[in-house]
Amino acid sequence: MTGDDFAATEAPLQNEDIVICKRVFDHIRATGHITDDDACDELAIQIIYFYQHGITNEDSLEQLVVSMAERQRPT
């Protein structure tokens, strides 16, 4: 099976993809936007989801995920 046989959302992440996603995850954690473990799990899921759906620029990915987290915070 080749990469052409997968839809973009089904293709496995390559090492360089994982490095980008981890850098975004670590930066969001370091800035204090996400602190509890359940939120960290959700953060990782969202980063990978949006990355697989075409948001591969680190800054754009981070801004999107942070803005979503801020909207979900209780007021």
4-62 pLDDT, tens digit each: 544 556 678 999 999 999 999 999 999 887 778 888 899 999 999 999 999 999 999 99
- Gyration radius of the chain's alpha carbons: 13
pLDDT at position 1: 39
Going from the C-alpha of 23 to that of each of 4, 33, 39, 42, 73, the distances in angstroms are: 27, 14, 17, 16, 23
